[in-house]
Structure 1
Amino acid sequence: MALPVVAGVDGSEPSLRAVDWAADEAALRGAPLRLVYASLWERYEGPSFAPDVGEPDEEVMAEDVVRAAERRARRRQPAVHVTSELLPEEPEYALVRESRSALLVLLGCRGRSGLTEALLGSVGVMVAGHAHCPVIVLRGSHDNQARSGARGRVVLGVGEKPAGSAAVRFAVEEARLRGVPLEAVRAWRRPAHAMTGHPLMTGEPAHQGERQAAETLEEALSDVPDDLPVRRRTLEGRPRDVLLAAAHGADLLVVGARRHPGHYGLQLGRVPHGVLHHAACPVAVVPEPA
């Protein structure tokens, strides 16, 4: 049986945009779509229901939320097989468990206390930090750009261990499915002593850092098919800041997150955590083996 694309729904407008994106992803991949409603969601994020569902009052039932999401998905992608389930548990635990048997998980971005534009909600952080498959988080400030290739670019942040990277494979697949170019970005930093301005301590160290970044890019992209247009970029600066700038206006930013067996804390890393909170486009976090 084909693994599904999973979308977490709660009746909010961000979650319904996640349904749109998930329906498109399922159609591109020829996969089923599974909609999951975890009944304790409001405990964390508070009720904020979209017009499809009705008035935001306590009488709106979980079944109504799911039915509205199903209708929306079927209208958007009639050929996709859609199923749904209500789960009486915390949403982060439910979605992490769902990720064990999913192609990917889609989440809308919902912050707290009016900070949706700046900070990612707790559910999104927890799921992205523990999921067993790629997680795409749609930032809540965006217009509805869920259709594939809406802006024409997938951006990949290339990490320290590029060989065999799951993030690279995922980014390549997304770009090919959408028929858009891949932009691979590797940040590099100028050594501290190269910033002193002394004529004997500038130039070569910085060039060496840029060369190493270029070599890392080439290693990461060595298995990319020749028919996929790829732009390679080495940019000086902190990785988080470089990726945030590079991904402005992109369809999707893809980053990897290392998973350490036996470690039960949040496994995101500084760069994925930063871009999830501040990116100006949807973000895919792809689990990588340690």
Structure 2
Amino acid sequence: MRTMRSPVVAGVDGSESSLRAVDWAANEAVLHGAPLRLVYASLWQRYEGAALGTRLSRPDGRVMAENIVGSTAERVRRGAPDLQVTTDVPQEEAVSALLREGEDALALVVGSRGRGGIAGLLLGSVSLAVASRARCPAFVVRGDKAGLEAAHGRIALGVGDADPPDPTAVRFAFTEAELRRCGLDVVRAWRCPSHETSDHPLMTGDPALYHEERASAVLDEALATAEQDHPDVRVRRVTTEGPAHKVLLERAAVADLLVVGARRRESRVGMQLGRVAHTALHHAACPVAVVPRSGPPESSGGTAP
């Protein structure tokens, strides 16, 4: 009996941002040999009120949603005729529906802004919530059409300060680079605290060199297994002094995809991402993949990216 592969799930709402996300999701599904599922979640019945009971035909909101998801599916089939595409129009709040779909998905893909968004503003609330809470990798497709079509041939992976390094995002990035046949820049930012000098009892020689060597050692540890499993991936190690969120934004400007691992932090307002992932989602010049790290959520005082 043939086993059904987990789908790539894309959120659809008819906006230009979501159409770019669907194009990305279709390509991702083709690369992985997976089906594509398009989901338009809407609480249209909430806004049509009592009129629902007086109409014999389907409510206007549902008709609009079905038309949008249907035309989007046709768009996908024209570009990838062999790709299996399914659609759904659940009567549900968008975040809840997408997170539920993500329980069994290979990945979730959303645009950076919804239909009500204005170009150039920060990340939309649905996209941020999905990226923060999804149990599978979540792509937020940032960048305009021209930027997405300008291939750099590289993926950037940020390696944070988890000890030991979590391998989940590393494996994900290597797999993406292998499927896309592109290079992989693995980035580790380091800082030399201003109070550290060569007279520090734990320092021998240049403190900056000490921190840079530590950063290189972290990369060696994080990449050891993945490099053996993916020998054809061209890896470039990058150790750079500076705040991690700024360093990654600079690398994202010359990458086709930025991958960040994210251990969720539990706070009074629910699950939140660390500063590095949050900044990348709001400001990166390319699509961002947020890959859930293994293990339970950290407390709000944690330092996870």
**TM-score w.r.t. structure 1 length?**
0.86
Secondary structure at the aligned position of 1:266 is classed as strand
Matched, 1:166 2:168: yes
Q: Which residue of 2 aligns with 1:105?
A: 108
What residue number does 1:123 align with? 126
Find 1:19's aligned residue among 19, 22, 31: 22
Q: Which runs of 5+ in 2 are unaligned?
A: 47-59, 296-305
**1:136 to partner: Cα distance:** 0.6
Aligned counterpart, 1:206: 208
1:207 aligned counterpart, secondary structure: helix
Asked whether 1:133 is paired with 2:136, we answer yes
Instruction: Give, in angstroms, the shift of residue 262 of structure 1.
Output: 11
Conserved in 2, the CA contact under 8 Å of 1:138 and 1:282?
yes
Say which of 221, 234, 238 aligns to 1:219: 221
Q: Does 1:230 align with 2:206?
A: no
1 CA distance for matches of 2:36 and 2:62?
27
Unaligned runs of 5+ in 1: 44-56
* C-alpha spacing 1:288/1:263, structure 2 compared with 1 (3 Å): farther
Q: CA deviation at 1:116?
A: 3.7
Supply the AA of the counterpart residue of 1:278: H
For 2:74 and 2:103, locate their aligned partners in 1 and report how far apart those are by CA, in whole Å. Answer: 26
| In structure 1, C-alpha distance between the alignment counterparts of 2:115 and 2:91, rounded to whole Å | 22
- 1:265 corresponds to 2:270: yes
Judging changes above 3 Å, is the alpha-carbon distance between structure 1 residues 112 and 9 closer, same or farther for their aligned structure 2 residues? closer
Q: Give the distance between the partners of 1:133 and 1:167, measured in 2 at CA.
A: 11
Of residues 74, 78, 83, the one that matches 1:80 is 83
Q: Distance in 1 between matches of 2:133 and 2:62?
A: 33
Deviations 1:233-288 (A, max 9, x none): 00111010000001113110000111468998123111100110000111000000
CA distance 1:113–1:94, shift in 2 (3 Å): closer
2:195: which partner in 1?
Answer: 193
* Residue identity matched to 1:74: R
One-letter identity of the residue aligned with 1:252: L
Question: 1:190: how far off?
Answer: 1.0
In 2 relative to 1, CA 72–102 (structure 1 residues): closer, same or farther, beyond 3 Å? Answer: same
CA distance in 1, matches of 2:285, 2:221: 28
SS of equivalent to 1:132 = coil
Deviation at 1:159, TM superposition (A): 1.4
Q: Report what 1:176 is aligned to.
A: 178
Letter in 2 for 1:61: M
Deviations 1:122-141 (A, max 9, x none): 00110000001001101153
1:245-260 alignment, distance < 5 Å: 245-259=250-264
Change (3 A) 1:115 1:205: farther
Distance in 2, Cα, partners of 1:143 & 1:73 = 19
Structure 1 counterpart SS, 2:40: strand
Partner residue of 2:287 out of 263, 268, 282: 282
% same residue? 55
Q: Which moved more, 1:132-141 or 1:240-249?
A: 132-141
AA paired with 1:255?
A: V
Equivalence for 1:46: none
Residue equivalent to 1:155: 156
Q: Tell whether the 8 Å contact from 1:17 to 1:144 is kept in structure 2 after alignment.
A: no
**Mapped pair 1:38 → 2:38:** no
Structure 1 residue 75 displacement after superposition:
1.0
Conserved in 2, the CA contact under 8 Å of 1:260 and 1:289?
no
Q: CA deviation at 1:117?
A: 2.0
1:114, 1:39 → 2: CA distance? 16
Give the number of equivalent residue pairs. Answer: 271
Taking the aligned partners of 1:32 and 1:182, their CA distance within structure 2 comes to: 26
Amino acid of the residue matched to residue 170 of structure 1?
Answer: F
Which letter does structure 2 place at the counterpart of 1:25? E
Higher Cα Rg, which structure: 2
* 1-structure distance, mates of 2:118, 2:70: 29
Q: Could you tell me the TM-score, scaled by structure 2's length?
A: 0.82
Closer, same or farther in 2 for the Cα pair 1:259/1:94, shift >3 Å?
Answer: same
